[in-house]
Amino acid sequence: MLGQLSDMDLRLLQVFKSVAECGGMAAAELELNIGTSTVSRHMKDLETRLGLTLCRRGRAGFALTAEGQRVYDETLRLLSAVDAFRSSIDDIHSRMGGQLAVAVFDKTASNPAARISEAIAAFAEQAPGVNLQLHVGSINTIERGVMDGSYHVGIIPAHRSSQSLIYTCL
């Protein structure tokens, strides 16, 4: 029985995959950028770990055994699944998520020229994992809410500035 797979097992399987695809250890040496003796040691370690003979090597050349072919096929499936997992995790990291509390000045929210609904729709398309909470209030209420953390963003008309906030003209 194999038991748990380790990072080293995955590395050995990647070496095995290269050896099988290159048609031998000497040919895999260039692809893997490691010496033939290291490739040979990794192959022996994998065979010991699996309790199987994966390939025949000698004067007749290199060939996978029947077990080696099955291990190769399963290695392709496993490494593909690992790549898909990594890609999914990268996707999770690259997507925005959570909640965003936005407060909008009441007269801006009701002004069709402000195009608030279009901005919300565009945001929802770009960040589908974000739960947008829209609040409407007065300028003072919005500024206080941003300062005390009730709102992440406040949208207000240009007016006097508070030293405690950062303003960006939209």
pLDDT at 79 (0 to 100): 96
pLDDT at 68 (0 to 100): 97
Residue ranges covered by each domain of the chain: 7-93, 98-155
Could you say which of 3.30.9.10, 3.30.450.20, 3.40.190.10, 2.60.120.10 is the CATH number of the domain covering 98-155?
3.40.190.10
pLDDT at 58 (0 to 100): 78
pLDDT at 93 (0 to 100): 75
Q: Could you tell me the two tokens for 94?
A: 């690259």
pLDDT at 117 (0 to 100): 87
Could you say which of 1.10.760.10, 1.10.10.10, 3.30.365.10, 1.10.3720.10 is the CATH number of the domain covering 7-93?
1.10.10.10
Give the chain as a 3 state SS string: CCCCCCHHHHHHHHHHHHHHHHCCHHHHHHHHCCCHHHHHHHHHHHHHHHCCCCEECCCCCCEECHHHHHHHHHHHHHHHHHHHHHHHHHHHHHCCCEEEEEEEEHHHHCCHHHCHHHHHHHHHHHCCCEEEEEEEECHHHHHHHHHHCCCCEEECCCCCCCCCCCCCCC
pLDDT at 55 (0 to 100): 95
Q: In 10 A of CB 103, how many CB atoms? A: 26
pLDDT in tens, the chain (170 residues): 678 889 999 999 999 999 999 999 989 999 999 999 999 999 999 999 999 999 998 787 889 999 999 999 999 999 999 999 999 998 877 777 789 999 999 888 888 888 888 988 998 888 888 899 999 999 999 999 999 999 999 998 887 777 888 888 87
